[in-house]
Amino acid sequence: MLLWFVIAYWIVSVGIGLYAATRVRNTKDFVIAGRHLPFHIVTATVFATWFGSETVLGIPATFLKENLHGVVADPFGSSLCLILVGLFFAAPLYRMNLLTIGDFYKKRFGRTVEVMTTLAIVLSYLGWVGAQINALGLVFNVVSHGTISKLAGMWIGSATILVYTLFGGMWAVAITDFLQMIIIVLGMLYIGGSVSRLVGGVGTVVAHAAAAGKFSFWPALDLKDIIGFFAAWITMMLGSIPQQDVFQRVQSSKTEPIAVWGSVTGGALYFLFAFVPMFLAYSATLIEPKMVSGLIDTDPQMILPRLVLDKAPLIAQVMFFGALLSAIKSCASATLLAPSVTFTENVLKPWFPEWSDRKLLFAMRTVTLSFTVLVTLYAVFSHLTIFKMVEDAYQVTLVCAFVPLFCGVYWKHATNQGSLLSIFLGLSVWLAMEFFGPDDPLIPGQLAGLLASAVGMVVGSLGPQRIPHQAMTHEEILRVHGKLSGHAAQLTHHVAAE
């Protein structure tokens, strides 16, 4: 019965996604929904995109093993990422009226930086999307009681998500995200209430967790622990900022205030609801301690699904797995679309300047199909946990793309040479630490790479310029920050030229 409910929900949501595809007429519709999304849709798609498999399965498993300290990257770092995007990046990027995040790097630092950062961003999505595909296989295997293998579930899940993402683009993602946010919120609250009644209320669970030391968050007063804690926090908090899916939600907004506050509100909602799966997972230690002890070291991601199947009534099972599937689908569809469109726009398109908008749209769909196959193969052969796949995904953008984005927006002296040196040093130091560094270094590889990236930007920008800087002028940067009107910017540029 549960399996048929899941199948019915799956068919309905795919149908809604396909209906949304009727609104796609050009690449702007496909990539940023024609810049027509209202506040509630933007908030929903920010929330639903980030509330993925790692939130429902990965974070609770990590919390049980490592306490609150272990989940500093997500939800603490990830929710702060969305809030920082809204407060500091949404407005200036929205004013630039771009199609992809790669377009910013091209406009600010030139073609070479555009390609390098785009490739880093696309590569980072392998881990994130792979985690969602992995979780889809797990869910289909669980709800079918083993009739559908995990491998078959991965291919079924990725194929069906591909269908509406391929045709509907951002319109399909946004509309299905709105539906899925409602199901996630209702499902999590309902199953939370059901489980809390089994253990004597929320207060009982919280008190027991506090007594067990589960709320320990800050690191010990040891230099190595403090540095490791800081590195884990910024990996997702800063490494997630230069991402196409975040940028798409900013650019898809109908107005600039919606771009700002939709991101902030979505991030705040994500932070609040991310604690519900942690509550459920810890409740399992009180309800089924033997089951938890048997899975905690072998397959901790199964603790929550096992608890729901064994102890919850059918309606609660339907609500839980409906919410879980909604979380996975919303995240997977967004993260399939984002790297595909940015690769097409920023890597392929310049090689084919004669492409019409129709041919470009076809290319975006072809790349989406190819990326889906590639990332499903990655998920099939990867042995990382869901939480680890997501956490590792952002290291490459942290060391390659964050500093050029931040300095490109906020530092007028940043140059093409500085950005190229920033990318080179950040990537080189990170890779050297990963492959040749000690197993347990004082400074983690991603933090060392970020520091090297910052040094490269400063030294390369302030030193003698061997590489010509042909990008945004100072007046254009001021205009992006709203400090000059369009007319004033033109006048200032004309006076400077004279």
Residues 395, 430 contacting (CB under 8 angstroms) = yes
State percent of the chain over pLDDT 90: 41
Give the pLDDT score at 117: 94
The predicted-structure confidence for 303-329, as pLDDT tens digits, reads as follows 888 888 888 888 888 888 887 787 787
> What local confidence, expressed as pLDDT, does residue 492 receive?
36
Contacts 24+ apart (CB under 8 A), 284-290: 285/64, 286/199, 286/204, 286/205, 286/208, 287/195, 287/198, 287/199, 287/311
Axis-axis angle for helices 256-273, 244-251 (nearest 10): 130
User: What tokens does 216 get?
Assistant: 């320990």
Report the pLDDT value the prediction gives residue 14, as an integer from 0 to 100.
79
Q: What is the pLDDT of residues 331-369, one digit of tens each?
A: 788 788 888 999 999 999 999 988 998 899 999 999 999
Question: Does the structure show a pLDDT above 60 at 70?
Answer: yes
Provide the pLDDT confidence category of residue 161 given band limits of 50, 70 and 90. confident
Give the pLDDT confidence score for residue 480 in this predicted structure.
61
- For residue 472, what pLDDT is reported? 65
CB atoms closer than 10 angstroms to residue 481: 13
The residue written with tokens 């406009």 in the block is 107
387 pLDDT more than 70: no
CB 254 within 8 A of CB 35: yes
Given a cut of 60, is residue 61 above it in pLDDT? yes
pTM of the model: 0.86
Instruction: Write 315-318 long-range contacts (CB < 8 A, 24+).
Output: 316/190, 316/191, 316/194, 317/2, 318/2, 318/5, 318/6
The most confident of the ranges 274-288, 330-344, 368-382 is: 274-288
pLDDT tens digits for range 98-152: 889 999 999 999 999 999 999 999 888 887 788 788 888 888 888 888 888 988 9
